[in-house]
Amino acid sequence: MVAKYQQIADDLQSKIKKQEYPTGSMIPPESKLREIYQVSRYTIRQAIGVLVDKGYLRAEKGAGTYVLDPDVPLAQKATKTIGVMTTYLSDYIFPTIIESIEEVLRSKGYALLLSATHNDPIQEEACLQAMIAQGVDGLLIEPTSSNLYNANIAYYAKIKESGLPILFLNAYYDMLDIPYVSLDDSSAGELATRYLIENGHTEIGLLTKLDDLQGKLRMKGYVRAHEAENITFTADNIATFTTKDQKEVVKAYADSLVASDSAPTAVVCYNDEVASQLIRQLQKHHYTVPKDLSIVSHDNSYLAKVYQLTSVVHPQRKLGQYAAEQLIQCIEKQKPLQSKEFSAELKIRSSVENRS
């Protein structure tokens, strides 16, 4: 049996094709459609969502839902707006990335539609639907929980098939053939680990995130650096966490370092936020960095400066500018999007003790 929302979508689509709702006009408001079809608001929104995805409608917040020309490919229905989704909007590396994207878009006459998923697939789906409904010309997206499967992958595949340009930021879903712009995270993890080895550390821990692809790739670099130097590492020195249990795992890791008689002398941290959390936990035990523990982290954020962390530099501004420029060239010149990984560089500060 065909779902009610699909029946309504089919009926509306038929009316659009028959020009009962001409191109450029507005369909009746939700309240009127609920009265016509005798269904809930949710069912009406589902039906409208189907037609938005198919390129028959465009919803404009606060204005209404407009009829588009169904014979014009979705990617050609220009609104001069780019959708930008990140996992977070907090004062970390994201504001600089967003700012650099916006600078490029503004210079080219484009507006930016911004949202955050909080690394939650359910919120990611809602953000995607909202942006498609707004009729954006392209998407710049930091994928949510990029190292895990989620149902939105099918949605992304559908967007790609529609011809709407999409470019991933910082990470990607490796089961999808969609271009991305990121730091070379595997080389970043290797660079961080090698620096510790060069400073005489052979017992090196790792504290990394595993629901995001960056964490897995940085672990790969950690392993590669040990193998290159023929140094063994133990599972006891490695701790992994997810978005939901990060604080708890960092605290437990700090407690284990203090309690162990054979604790590592240095740790590679997933990013500066994790490193700063680890330092604060260690300070409760009167441990200091780098005297009691050396640390190298990733991102070179403001936290790296506050805690004087040696940290892999994240190409925030370059990444944002490059991504925006690539997307606009794709939209305006039909230039194919291509993946790019920025080389890893290390900013040296005082968080590593030389034990050579």
Per-residue pLDDT of 295-328, as tens digits, reads 999 999 999 999 999 999 999 999 999 999 999 9
Delimit the domains of the chain by residue range.
Answer: 4-67, 74-182+316-342, 185-314
CB of 336 closer than 8 Å to CB of 330: yes
In CATH, which of 2.40.10.10, 3.40.50.2300, 1.20.1110.10, 2.40.30.10 is domain 185-314? Answer: 3.40.50.2300
Classify residue 168 by its DSSP letter: E
Classify residue 55 by its DSSP letter: T
Q: How confident is the model at residue 151 (pLDDT cuts 50, 70, 90)?
A: confident
C-alpha to C-alpha distance for 170 and 148, rounded to whole angstroms: 15
Q: Do domains 4-67 and 74-182+316-342 have the same CATH topology?
A: no
Class of domain 74-182+316-342: alpha beta
The residue among 106, 125, 109 whose CA lies nearest residue 53 is 125
CA distances 160 to 124, 139, 166, 337, Å, are 16, 10, 7, 12
The residue among 338, 339, 329 whose CA lies nearest residue 108 is 329
pLDDT tens digits for range 268-289: 999 999 999 999 999 999 999 9
pLDDT tens digits for range 213-265: 999 999 999 999 999 999 999 999 999 999 999 999 999 999 999 999 899 99
| DSSP assignments along 201-225, one per residue | --SEEEEEESSSHHHHHHHHHHHHH
The topology (CATH level 3) of 4-67 is Arc Repressor Mutant, subunit A (1.10.10)
